[in-house]
Amino acid sequence: MEAASALEKLRKFQLADPFQYCLRWLQAAVAGGAISFNWQSSRTQVTVEMEGFVLDPERISQLPRLLLDPNAPRAEQHLSAGLNAAIRTEMSTVRLRSGNTVVTWTPAGFQSEYKEMGLQGTKLELNRGSGHNFWHILGRSRDREQKYLHSQAACAPLSLGIQGSAPERRLPRGEELGGSHEHWEPAAAGGFRPPHCSRGRRYPDRCALYCSDLDPRRPHSLLFPIRDGVLLPVEEIHPGKQGKLFLVDVSLLKTDLTGLQLVHDQAYQEMVAGLLHYLG
């Protein structure tokens, strides 16, 4: 991709809300094989720690452009997208440490240094700009990043902490797991962690697919697509069929440039068609 074309696409790239950068960084942790993702944010600073996910030091300086590189690993693309979005939230400084490398992005430019003591993971520290007067006094309420993580990270297959607490492991729209007919398929790699079931059933640590009954009066089934641990927008599928609730790992399907919206291409259509098997 030519540099001019890449820069133009970067200028146009934006999430529906730039504060969704936290979701892209969670996706980076999951896709990169991290064993934990710990989030802390305040009125002035954000700190993210991803244990077990170490970046290639030769590629860290290229991170701002890697979301446009089709050959870059998904973890790098996610991290790059989050970095570009975070900058749009008026962050004044972004500092990244991974392994023995420490880099800093500021309005004045880019700096890199080597540390003798390596970090067994990746840590990001962001200083917020002055345009965040919308925050509640003393930060007693959740900020936008925390709200996104609680609402869309329930299925992330790693140890996840948000201000020291676990995410709200429940599905949106008031849906619950645990109908009279359940089926799940364990994931050989990747996958997702089903939210807690009120029936107390035991699930595999990671699933590739989970389905259960919906209210039989529903005129459709519901698809909860999960990409690298993050719940994407819920979709209504198979109108006129007996309603089911599906949680599906869609990490290998295509999304638009935001990484948070599925593309309804042939692969997507084939996946949805394959779920007919579970409708009986």
Does residue 157 sit in the same domain as residue 180?
no
Are residues 33 and 53 in contact, defined by beta-carbon separation less than 8 angstroms? yes
Say whether pLDDT at 3 is over 50.
no
Tell me which of 215 and 274 has the higher pLDDT: 274
Q: Is residue 141 part of a domain?
A: yes
What is the DSSP secondary structure assignment for residue 192, as one 8-state letter?
B
| Segment among 75-79, 172-176, 256-260 with least mean pLDDT | 172-176
Q: Is residue 267 part of a domain?
A: yes
Give the pairing of strands 159-162 and 36-41.
parallel
Does residue 38 sit in the same domain as residue 153?
yes
Q: What is the pLDDT of residue 234?
A: 94
Asked which of 162, 191, 213 is the last residue of a domain, the reply is 162
Are residues 64 and 10 in contact, defined by beta-carbon separation less than 8 angstroms? yes
Q: How confident is the model at residue 215 (pLDDT cuts 50, 70, 90)?
A: confident
Closest CA to 48 of 58, 39, 59: 39
The identity of residue 10, as a single letter, is L
**E strand residue ranges, 60-131:** 91-106, 109-128
Does residue 191 sit in the same domain as residue 245?
yes
The CATH number covering residue 49 comes to 3.30.565.10
Q: Is residue 192 part of a domain?
A: yes
Are residues 153 and 229 in contact, defined by beta-carbon separation less than 8 angstroms? yes
Does residue 134 sit in the same domain as residue 181?
no
Are residues 279 and 238 in contact, defined by beta-carbon separation less than 8 angstroms? yes
The distance of Cα 14 from the centroid of its chain, to the nearest Å, equals: 15
Does residue 151 sit in the same domain as residue 179?
no
Q: How confident is the model at residue 11 (pLDDT cuts 50, 70, 90)?
A: low
Q: Is residue 252 part of a domain?
A: yes
pLDDT digits (tens, 9 = 90+) for 58-95: 999 999 889 888 899 999 999 999 999 998 888 889 99
For the chain, the domain total comes to 2
Say whether pLDDT at 133 is over 50.
no
Residue 212: how many other CB atoms lie within 10 Å:
23
Domain range holding 179?
172-279
Q: Is residue 32 part of a domain?
A: yes
Are residues 230 and 26 in contact, defined by beta-carbon separation less than 8 angstroms? yes
SS3 content of the chain, % helix, strand, coil (to 5): 25, 30, 40
Does residue 269 sit in the same domain as residue 197?
yes
Calpha distance 153→45 (Å, rounded)? 21
For 18, the 3-state DSSP assignment is helix
Mean pLDDT is highest, among 74-78, 128-132, 236-240, for 74-78
Say whether pLDDT at 211 is over 70.
yes
Q: Is residue 167 part of a domain?
A: no
Calpha distance 117→182 (Å, rounded)? 49
Asked which of 162, 197, 214 is the last residue of a domain, the reply is 162
Q: What is the pLDDT of residue 106?
A: 86
Asked which of 162, 187, 215 is the last residue of a domain, the reply is 162
Does residue 104 sit in the same domain as residue 182?
no
Mean pLDDT of 92-99: 94
Say whether pLDDT at 180 is over 60.
yes
Q: How confident is the model at residue 1 (pLDDT cuts 50, 70, 90)?
A: very low
Mean pLDDT of the chain: 86
Does residue 142 sit in the same domain as residue 17?
yes
Strand partners, 46: 41, 126
Mean pLDDT of 126-141: 60
CA angle 64–70–76, rounded 5-degree value:
45
Does residue 138 sit in the same domain as residue 191?
no
Q: Is residue 50 part of a domain?
A: yes
Mean pLDDT is highest, among 8-12, 27-31, 173-177, 206-210, for 27-31
Strand partners, 98: 101, 122
Say whether pLDDT at 138 is over 60.
no
Does residue 104 sit in the same domain as residue 193?
no
Are residues 246 and 279 in contact, defined by beta-carbon separation less than 8 angstroms? no
